[in-house]
A and B are shown apart, each in its own frame.
Chain A
Amino acid sequence: MNKRFDERWTCEGDWTPAVSRRALLGGGALAAVWWAARGTALADLSLGDQPDPTGDLLVVVFLRGGADGMNMVAPVGADAYHRARPTLALARATDRTAPKADRVLDLDGFFGLNPAMGPLLPLYREGRLGFVHACGSGDHTRSHFEAMAAMERGNENIRGGIASGWLARHLDARPQKGASPLRAVAFSSVMPDSLRGATSAMALESLADFRLRLPEGPENRGGRLRQTLTRLYQDQLRDPIVDAGVETFKLLETLNRLDPAHYKPESGAAYPDSELGRGLRQVAFLAKARVGLEVAFLDRGGWDTHVAQGSSTGYMALGLTDVSDSLAAFAKDLGPALDRTTVVVMTEFGRRLQENSGLGTDHGRGSVMTVLGGGTQGGRVHAKWPGLEPHELDEVGDLRVTTDYRDVLAEILDKRVRSTNLAAVFPGHTPKALGVVQ
C-alpha cells in the first residue's frame, strides 16, 4: 500500500510529510491544486515538444447517479427483462410488433443497444468500441456517495481504506521527469476523487477560461495590471506563494500560446454543445497539441432515474444521446490518434431490474462499462452474464456484479497505458485478465 496516501487518513493535520514540493497535493479535492508540485516543469514546457507518454492517453468519463446499464446495453434476449420492465424495456431488434424506433440495435443476438446510442454503433462494428456488462464494485449500500467514494478510490467498497484516487495513484506510480503541467486534467469545477492526491493534476472547466480576468479599458489597462502583478511576484524572494504565482503566470502563457478558444475539430466532427461535448473537445485539442496529456477526467450527471426514466426516448435517452454524440465526435476528431487513446465510461452502480411504480428504476448493482479506442477488443459485449431470473439476481432484485470494475481498469492501465505499478493503483487486488483491450 502506498504509504503516503494512507497517511491522509491516519494522521491529522500535519500529514503532508515534510512537504517536499512534490508532495504538496495532499490537499486533494481542491480545484486546480497542482503545479507548484513541479518546480521547473512549466519552464520546460513549450508547444509541441513534450514527449508523448509511453502508453495511451487515458480518458475517463464518469456517469454520476447510477446509470441503468440494462437500458444502455439491453439484455433483450432474456424474457425476464421484458417481464420486469413492462413500460421501460426496449424491444427486440426482431420485434415487428414494436415501432422501429423502440427496437434495439442488435449487438450480438442477445444484447441490443439503446437506439439513443446509435452514433456508437459504427465504432462497435469497426471493433474499436466494446462493452463490459454486469460490471461494478463490491459496494452493497446502494448509496451514491459510498459507491462513488469506493469506486473513485479504487476500493472494493467503502471499507477499503485508501483515501487517494486511483488515477492519482496511477500518476504517482510513474512520475515523469519534467512532467507536463497538463499531465492530468479534470474538466470539472472541483477535483474529482479519482484524481484526489495527484501531484500533477488540475481541475478546470474550460481551458479558454483559465485566464486572468482583467478590467477592460483604453491604454491597455488590463495588460498593465497584469504586468504589474507579474512583477509583484517576480520581485519577491522565493516562498511557496511566490513560486505558485510565478508558475501560474507561466501556465497562463502556455495556454495563451495554445489558443484553445480557436480550436477547430477535424473531419467535420460535431461535438454537442454540452458540458461533456465541450470537455471532450478540449481533450482532443490537448491530445493533438502534444503537451504531455496523460489522463483526462470528465463526468456527467443525470442518471439517477427514479421516476420517468423513459426508454428509447425520454429523460435517460437524452443523456445517452449526449454521451454517444460526444464520444462519436471525439473519435472522429482524433482520427488516427484514437489508436493511442483509450476511453472508459463508468458509473457507480446500475439500477434495479424491476421498474418501479414511478416508471423509473431504483438503485441497483451491476451496470455497463464502455471502452473505446484503437486497442479495444471491440465489437463485443464482454460479460459473465449472471442471468435475470429471480434466483440469479442479487439481494433485492439487482443484476449481479460478475466483473470487478477494477479488472477493466487494471487491464487498460496494464496493456494500453503501460502502467508499471498496478499494485500501487489497486492495492490488495489481483486483477483478472478479461481481454477487453489488447
Chain B
Amino acid sequence: MPLYRAHVLVCGGTGCTSGGSDKIYDAFLKEIENFNLKDEVQVIRTGCFGLCAEGPIVIVYPEGAFYSKVADSDVKEIVEEHLLKGRIVKRLLYKESLEEGQIKSLNEVKFYKKQMRIALRNCGVINPENIEEYIAYDGYKALAKVLTEMTPEQVIDWVKRSGLRGRGGGGFPTGLKWEFAAKAPGDVKYVVCNADEGDPGAYMDRSILEGDPHSVIEAMAIAGYAIGSKQGYVYVRAEYPLAVKRLEIAINQAREYGLLGKNILGTDFEFDIEIRLGAGAFVCGEETALMTSIEGHRGEPRPRPPFPAVKGLWSKPTLLNNVETYANIPVIILKGPEWFASIGTEKSKGTKVFALVGKVNNTGLIEVPMGTTVREIVEDIGGGIPGGKKFKAVQTGGPSGGCIPASLMDTPIDFDSLTALGTMMGSGGMIVMDEDTCMVDIAKFFLEFTVDESCGKCPPCRIGTRRMLEILQKITSGNGTEEDLEKLEELAYSIKDSALCGLGQTAPNPVLSTLRYFRDEYEAHVKEKRCPAGACKALLRIVIDKDLCKGCGICAKNCPANAITGQIKKPFEIDQTKCIKCGVCIEKCPFKAISKKA
C-alpha cells in the first residue's frame, strides 16, 4: 500500500448514506483528482461513526478534524482549504470539537467521552471493505491464537469466564450456550449469526455489519473451532443491502486470504460461512423461526425444548448468537476474560451498544459500559432533550420491552435492572420521549407493530394482540371505559402466559409497562376523556380565548368544517362536535387567541 499523507474518512453508515454521503465520497474523489492530490490523499468509506444526528460526517487525518453535517457542495472547500492549503474549514467543524482554537480529538468530545467501544471498536475507524485494515487493528489475531494456542475447551472456558451474555435480548450466558453446543452429540454442527434486527428504532447490528464485518466472521470461525463446526450461516435481512454487500465482500476477502475455507492459517481447521437473506419478518429474529427460515420454510417458531444447541438447523446441534455478541468475542480472546469481566456490573459484563433515538439532541449509535445510568446516556451523551422540553421516559427493548420513567433515571442499566423495571435490554433500541409523548399512544404504536408482524401460528398472539390494539384505539379516540382498562390488563397477562414464542409472550409488555408507570395517563383518557400530553388528536379541544378574541371572524372564514360561528366584534366560538382539529384556525388567528387544550 502506498503511503498517503492524509486520509479522508467518509461515514458510510446507513444514516450518513441516506444523508448523501455517497455523493460526498464521489465529490472528494473528483476534487482530489482536480487538485492533483491523488497520490497524497486517500479517501475511505468507513462504517458508522455513531453521531448520526450530526451526519453526514467526514474526518480528516492526521489532524483528526471532525466535520459534521457536510454537504457535497462543501467538498471543494475542504479539499482546497484543508487538504491543499492546510487550513481547517472551521465553519464545518463539529461545534464542540473546536475549543480554544485547538481541535479536540474525537474521544474528548462529550458524545464520545463516556463511551467505551468494544463491539464498535473498528466502526468508523477502518475501511470495512479492506481486510488489511482489519488485520492492522489486530484482526484475525484472536483466531490465530485459538487455533494454535488453545483447545476448544479453553476457548469455551474463556467465554464463560468473561461473563458475556447474549446481546440479542434475553441475555443468556454466551459461554454456557457454546458449551451446550459443543457437548451436544453429533459430527455435523452449525454456527449461526442472527442479523435479523427488526425492532423499531434499532440499528446496532446493521451498523456493526456495515462498519466491521470481519469481526463477526472472525468470531464465527472461533465459535466453529470451539464447538466443532465447519459451516456457518449469517441470517441477515434483505432490507439491509449495504450490510449484505459489505458482508459479501468481507467473506470473499477472508476466503482469498485463507482465513475461511480449508486449512485456515496452515492448521487443519476448516470453516466457511454463507449468507442467508431473510425477507424481514420480525418473527424471523426468534431463533427457532430463524432456523426454519434458513431451511427454506416459512419462518414460524416452534416450541422449545429441544433447544437449538441440541436440535437446531436441519435437526443438528446449532450455536446461534447475535451480531453484537459475536463482535465482542475476538477482543475477549485477545485481552483475556478477566479484562472483559472487569467492565460492567456484577452480573452484566462488558458494554452495550444502543441506538439512541427519539427526542434527544445527539441521536446516534453509542456503546457504554454496563451500569451506565439512563441519566448519563440521555443528558451527557445524548446532550439532553431538544427545545427545552422535559424528559419523560425512555423505551428500551423494542416491542418486547417497556419504559423507564423519568423518576427512575438514575437506574444503572444492565440486564437484570431493566428486567426488574419491567422492561428489557432487547437488542438495544433506546427511544427517548419528552413531555409531548402520550404513553398510551406509544403502547398503541408498538402493538400495531406486533399485530402486523405476528406470524399467526398461535391464537393468543394472532387474536389476542389484535383485541388489545382495538381497546387501545378505543381509549385514544376517547371512547374508552374503565372496564376496558381491566380487560386490557387481563388480556395482557393471558397472552403473556399462553403465546407460543418469545415474541407473543412479550407483545403485551409495552402495555403492561406503561400501565405500571403511567396509569394516570390511561385514567385521564378513560375518565376525563383527556390526553395529558396533548398527543391524541381525538381528545384535543381547540378553544378560543374570549379575552383575546377581537371578533374578526378570520377563523370562521378559514374553518374547513364550518365549526366556528359568531358575530363580528364579539368573541367567536367553536362547536366541538363539528371541529376536526385540523388547527387551521390556530394558524390563521392574528391575535393568538386560539389554542389546543389537552
Query: Are the chains A and B members of one assembly?
Result: no
Q: Which residues of A contact B (CB under 8 A)?
A: none
